[in-house]
């Protein structure tokens, strides 16, 4: 793969990046995780305000960094982390809109696979579709952590959309009918990039709204109240950290 680091590096490393990185879309949520859960925190990136921090959690060095919105954005950051900064495992900690009627706001969804309308994975040249799947070891660990914490996390497939505002009617009904638990905008890109780099990835999502139910969380609640998701992700990360 072409290395464009010298002309367009999106991550300028100012401190150590850990082997395991947690990634929310919003860089301020990355700061909130570092502030709330980590000690000995150092800022390793602020290029484009895409804040990245490394700190200590339960005795292990773990990083947390924003990835922006959409597959192209998470594709840039995760490709650089895996291929240029020695990162072995990435856990997306994101928000998602509920589709399945059994899913409610603030529920946790662990994404075992992602369907998508993104064309990004076709660039890898696999005839047909490259499957966008979670790393099984990380998935199993996260499920066990959720059970230990008595969090009723749902495990299933999600839909990664290139659109937040999809311009045609009927897509959400069809996605729900085909068993997708929720919709978000990056998981397929993360899983493809991990696959292409022979690395690990998992996406853990917190339901911020529902496409078929009248619920919505404020931006402040989104940033501060996804405690279950963050703690499942952190305790999963510990198992894969040095």
Ligand X SMILES: O=P(O)(O)O[C@H]1O[C@H](CO)[C@@H](O)[C@H]1O
Name the residue nearer to ligand URA (CB basis): 186 or 231.
Answer: 186
Give residues 130-169 in contact with ligand URA (rule: CB under 6 A).
Answer: 164
189 binds, among ligand X, ligand URA, none (CB under 5 to 8 A by kind): none
In the annotation, is 135 catalytic?
no
Alpha helix positions (H), the chain = 5-8, 27-37, 71-84, 136-148, 171-177, 187-196, 219-224, 227-240
Give residues 192-231 in contact with ligand URA (rule: CB under 6 A).
Answer: 208-209
Give residues 175-194 in contact with ligand X (rule: CB under 6 A).
Answer: 184-186
Q: Tell me if 48 is assigned to a ligand binding site.
A: yes
Catalytic residue among 107, 162, 209, 228: 209
> What angle (nearest 5°) sits at the alpha carbon of residue 130, between those of residues 127 and 133?
160
- CA 133 centroid distance within chain: 13
Which structure tokens are listed for 54?
């490394």
Concatenated DSSP letters of 5-57: HHHH-S---SS---SEEEE-SSHHHHHHHHHHH-EEEEEEE-GGG--EEEEEE
Residue 24 binds ligand X (CB under 6 A): yes
Least distance to ligand URA from the beta carbon of 59, Å? 33
> Which residues line the annotated binding site?
25, 29, 48, 92-95, 184-186, 208-209
Residues that bind ligand X (CB under 6 A): 24-26, 69, 94-95, 164, 184-186
Active site residues: 209
């Amino acid at each position: 793969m072409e290395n464009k680091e010298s002309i367009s590096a999106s991550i300028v490393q100012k401190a150590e990046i850990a082997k395991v990185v947690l990634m929310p879309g919003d860089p301020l949520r990355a700061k909130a995780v570092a502030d709330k859960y980590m000690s000995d925190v150092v800022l390793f990136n602020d290029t484009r305000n895409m804040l990245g921090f490394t700190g200590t959690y339960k005795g292990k060095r773990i990083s947390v960094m924003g990835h922006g919105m959409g597959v192209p954005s998470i594709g840039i950051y995760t490709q650089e982390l895996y291929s240029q900064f020695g990162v072995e495992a990435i856990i997306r900690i994101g928000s998602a809109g509920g589709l399945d009627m059994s899913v409610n706001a603030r529920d946790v969804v662990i994404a075992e696979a992602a369907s998508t309308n993104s064309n990004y994975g076709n660039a890898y040249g696999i005839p047909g579709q490259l499957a966008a799947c979670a790393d099984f070891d990380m998935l199993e660990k996260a499920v066990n952590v959720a059970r230990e914490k008595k969090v009723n996390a749902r495990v299933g497939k999600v839909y990664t959309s290139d659109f937040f505002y999809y311009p045609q009617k009927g897509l959400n009904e069809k996605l729900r009918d085909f068993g997708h638990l929720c919709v978000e905008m990056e998981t397929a890109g993360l899983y493809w990039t991990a696959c292409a780099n022979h690395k690990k990835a998992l996406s853990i999502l917190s339901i911020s709204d529902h496409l078929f139910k009248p619920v919505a969380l404020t931006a402040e609640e989104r940033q501060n109240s996804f405690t279950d998701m963050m703690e499942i992700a952190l305790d999963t990360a510990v198992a894969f950290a040095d």
